[in-house]
Amino acid sequence: MPRRRGIIDHFLNTLAEGAGETVSSSHVPLPPLAGLEPAHLDWQRDDTGESAPRSTRFDDVYFSRHDGRAETEHVFLHGNALPQRLAAWRERRPFTIGETGFGTGLNMLCAWACFDAHAPAQARLHLVSTERYPLSRNDLARALATWPDLARRAERLISQWPEPVAGVHRLWLDERVTLDLHFGDAAERLALLEGRVDAWFLDGFAPAKNPEMWHPELFAAMVARSRPGATFATFTCAGVVKRGLAAAGFAWRKVPGFGRKREMLCGEIAEPPADTRRQRTPWFSPPAPHPPRHVAVIGAGIAGASTAAALARRGVAVTLIDRFDRAELGTTHLQGALYVKLAVETNLQSRTYLAGLLHSRRWLAQLDPEQSLWRPSGVLQLALDEKEHQRQTRFLANHSLPQSVVRGLDAETAGRVAGIRLEAPALDYPDAAWVRPLELCVRLAQTPGVSFCRGEVTALHGNEAGWTLTLADGECLEAEQVVVAAAHEAAGFSQLAALPLQPVRGQVSQLAMPADAPALGRVVCAGGYVPPAAEGVLNFGATFAPGDTDLAEREADHAANLAELERGLPHFVAALRKAGADLTPTRLTARTGVRAASPDKSPYCGPVPDAEAWRRDYAVLTKDATRVPDVAGGHHPGLWISAAHGSRGMASAPLCAELLASRLCDEPLPLEWPLVDHLHPGRRIIRDLVQGK
């Protein structure tokens, strides 16, 4: 299948400029950021007189309204012996079900109901499902309305239903159940899955109607993502399916089918093959999972607080350590923007940030449905000069994302949605937002299972039980594993000294708004950003000073922020002056902070490499980058990092938190494995070796 193989190869770029993530023989560019073609349905009456969703593309029904649920339970639940297996589940990791063809979600909702009915209270369930043609939200709701007893579960699914964008979309169905929707071709998505499955629902339209799905690549990808003893069940006994399963390594057997279907297939695989995806990049081989009971997280900003909350939701006891208690800071009126700036030509960084934007938007809606900590205001990126206008034009020409994610607007339309006259066209992200970052961190730190410790960690020492953390006052804390989320200060620990982290000072200016001041309807970004005013305060900025860690307020920075505000929004500034706003730099207040950035502007998220071992084991790359040693990358056991989120931390930190928590707890990851490798903190070590540095 050259088409399928080619798309996967696109993900395996060589050490491209600003990336340094993977090595492969493929030098073609990544496929564009894309929306998916939705499912096209009509509603066909079945033998009871009720209507059932039917795919016009495949000329087949998704299920029978009369017995669709009973068929799901017979084929997939009992075919995989789920009631018995879930009742006996005692692992600390979740039981994982994989599915080819999400469709209406009926199979996944039934699996969730089965889990609730049979699994012990401490068990967790992780669902992974692929879908090439996702239903619209309305069609999904109509299809699932057939079963009133599933209504509560269906509503959780429908309320989080993602935009039809290729990639991984994580949904939190309840405290114990997570669903990862992998939108795209089933074989391609499973080949990019980082995670392993206990039971497979091999679903999809019948092989005769949908031969594109039932290919050897699909069965090979299933086997490669299976745990030892993984089972499968499918409604079909087609020869192409039996041959494909057997060739991939599954043992299969015929069992009684459902209703008028005489037979179906079940089976299992005793020992799946080893994962060979990182043969070209052995340094990115993940460490063996050891789900912890207690983790220390250093740093209570958005990276650390979201990581602490993600671990605590999984039942891990977390000690969150920071020398500042953000709950004592009071009301700061500070607002941050949830936004991204995507590249014209697709790269791994853009893919990661787009995934992070969509993830954070769902995450915020679930965390704070009352919107006390954020507002879904949307974000405009202005094109203030011809160069940026041309860049945005090329971006729109290169990518086919849904307009609900990003769209191009002329100056007049952009001004209409912003609520103020604009002189420049813009990219509009309608579903982006602004956030109260300090208050959000306080909320996350109050997650049950998180204990806050005020102090400064000065040293980390590994031991047989895990790690000893030495505080500035001489006190020591013990933890099984440690996540360092201390921004640029992370480099102060000896184990992380090899990771380049640059401090970047920023100052946001704050203006008390007069009563008659104009109101913005969008966050507006150009050289800086300005959200709609909140509680009578307008935030705008921020300055960007690499290498600077001084937090003192500066009048010159206020002047720079005012100049940037007027450059982007001259009519807004004029209206502020007319309303009586005092725009004198000395009359403004400030919030200053120091962000951290990596040289390639992507975060560090993953296990901390043993830099000395990497330089020794991979020294040959300095002479010949094609000679890849067959040595897995060494890491400091149980030491992790989430840092270098820069000015886009709201789009990257929550997703990185889920990535780390999933890795620590031995779950499927919320990103494709090439993107996981792109974030690996050891990427700069390999890049420097290849470049002879």
pLDDT at position 659 is: 98
3-state secondary structure of 277: coil
3-state secondary structure of 324: coil
In whole numbers, what is the pLDDT of the chain averaged over residues?
92
Tell me how far apart the alpha carbons of residues 261 and 59 are, in angstroms, rounded to a whole number.
Answer: 19
Neighbour tally for 436: CB within 10 Å: 22
Model confidence at 293, in pLDDT bands (50, 70, 90)? very high
CA angle 352, 169, 273 (to 5 degrees): 85
- Check if the beta carbon of residue 179 is closer than 8 Å to that of residue 129: yes
- Check if the beta carbon of residue 447 is closer than 8 Å to that of residue 462: no
Q: What is the mean pLDDT of residues 245-252?
A: 96
Query: Is pLDDT of 76 > 50?
Result: yes
- Check if the beta carbon of residue 133 is closer than 8 Å to that of residue 39: yes
Instruction: Single out the residue of 102, 174, 152 nearest to residue 131, CA to CA.
Output: 102
Model confidence at 53, in pLDDT bands (50, 70, 90)? confident
pLDDT 10s digits, 630-676:
999 999 999 999 999 999 999 999 999 999 999 999 999 999 999 99
Query: Is pLDDT of 57 > 90?
Result: no
pLDDT 10s digits, 501-545:
999 999 999 999 999 999 999 999 999 999 999 999 999 999 999
How, if at all, do strands 589-597 and 502-512 pair? antiparallel
pLDDT at position 235 is: 93
pTM listed for this prediction: 0.94
Query: Is pLDDT of 50 > 70?
Result: no
